[in-house]
Amino acid sequence: MILESKHAIALTGAGISTPSGIPDFRSPSYGLWARYDPFEVASLWGFREHPERFYDWSRSLIDTVRNARPNPAHIALARLEEAGYLYAIITQNIDSLHQKAGARRVIPVHGHVETATCLDCGAKYPIGEELWEMVKRGEIPRCPKCGGLLKPDVVLFGELLPYEELKAAQQEALLCDLMLVAGSSLMVMPAADLPLLAKKRGSKLILVNLQWTTVDGKADLVIREDVAKALPAIADLVLKGGARR
């Protein structure tokens, strides 16, 4: 299916980054929401009321994300993109590991931890070592211009997805003739609706996930395997079976 496609894209979720040591959110036993109330520590209204709770909760997570390295699944998708078999990678992850693996066209629909924005004046700042050291000391980062709260550019509960990224993701879902979904439970809207949007336009759908998803019944192929094993194997077969585009 990948070799025959003309415009294939990928959609990735938390499961593609767990082999890099980044915990997911929804696994019943070890997911982050099994231990924390998301509306208390990771909602926009919670952040405005008690930013210290957000930073206390997210400090170790962001530190893990900042120090994580791409795993074989990220590298496999970057290889497919570099060879011309993937036109875009839409990701629900905030870790920038696709970019670190070498992927060029990545659409992070849930934001990232590379920058932070002031909630009052809208000024944007890179999350460099100085700002991060402030967070690690337990301080609440504030805007140097107006003193407003600085929030990392990740999408919290109660926030809309970034418009340009969501628009680009929806356009890719409408254009693609194949969507490869890897490591996503497909439970979080509106990103979870992208495979259905693609199917309505006649796209083929491949799912690689250890757990069942609500979209399994609509997929052309479901692979129950660790993405860090399955995606490199898929990339090897595709690159062996076809010429570089």
| Catalytic residue list | 110
**Distance separating alpha carbons of residues 8 and 1, to the nearest angstrom:** 9
Q: Which amino acid is at 74?
A: H
- Read off the tokens for 93: 């992850």
Give the strand pairing for 111-118 and 124-126: antiparallel
Q: What is the DSSP string of 51-92?
A: HHHHHHHHHHHHHHHHH----HHHHHHHHHHHTTS-SEEEE-
What are the C-alpha distances in Å from 142 to residues 34, 55, 77, 80, 178?
30, 13, 37, 41, 44
Cross-strand partners of 106: 89
